[in-house]
Amino acid sequence: MNIILLGPPGAGKGTQARHLVETRGMVQLSTGDMLREAKDSGTEMGKIVADVMARGALVTDEIVIGLIREKLADKTEHGGFIFDGFPRTLPQADALGALMEAEGQTLDAVIEMRVDDEALVDRITARSTCGSCGEVYNDNTKPIPADGKCTSCGGTEFKRRADDNEESLKTRLMAYYKQTSPLIGYYYAKGMLSDVDGLAEIEAVQGSIAAVLDA
């Protein structure tokens, strides 16, 4: 099963993707992770990515699609792909659809993680992550344990993103709504869109996503 997770910054896409990787054996395709992996791979595509990043230039849609094509060509057994952070625009959605068809793959579900902007700002400005495993903590709802150790891996270093502040987050939200929110209508028209409450408790969101995938 191949799915797309849609939602603004901080909606919890990464957290839910990790859960699907652990419980369903799916493969998370995060644009940032793929670029970093490619840069260090030494492959022809990797050399292109490394050159672009070294020049500080923007990575083109063609490069990202090329990286996804390489992942789709890997026939290792798994539970399907999770597209996290791609597509972001309508042209990218068209390109991904064409690639999936060319590779004999199908896109089975698109899940929108709906959020309330003000509540999202409150959540993200209180967020920190484990520097070792990426486990997410929140000052209000899931504080860092009193012993200073991550409950997932035991790590003791925690960090906050520099742009996890109200002004930066509102700028990122505006960019999301301008570029990516049209995808909601795009996939709705294709009969592929489902939505879940992205601000519910993590376990509740996991259950809602499972219900969509198992339907």
19 vs 209: CA distance, rounded Å: 10
SS3 80: coil
Tokens linked to 170: 């509102």
Q: Which of 24, 88, 114, 142 is the catalytic position?
A: 88
Q: Given strand 109-114, what is the order of strands in its sheet?
A: 27-30, 81-84, 3-6, 109-114, 193-197
Q: Is 88 assigned a catalytic role?
A: yes
Q: Which of 24, 71, 114, 127 is the catalytic position?
A: 127
Q: Is 161 assigned a catalytic role?
A: yes
Q: Which of 24, 142, 160, 161 is the catalytic position?
A: 161
Q: With CA atoms as reference, report the closest residue to 183 among 197, 193, 171.
A: 193
Q: Which of 114, 142, 160, 172 is the catalytic position?
A: 172
Q: Is 13 assigned a catalytic role?
A: yes
Which helix (DSSP H) or strand (DSSP E) does residue 51 occupy? helix 44-54
**Which residues are part of the catalytic machinery?**
13, 88, 127, 161, 172
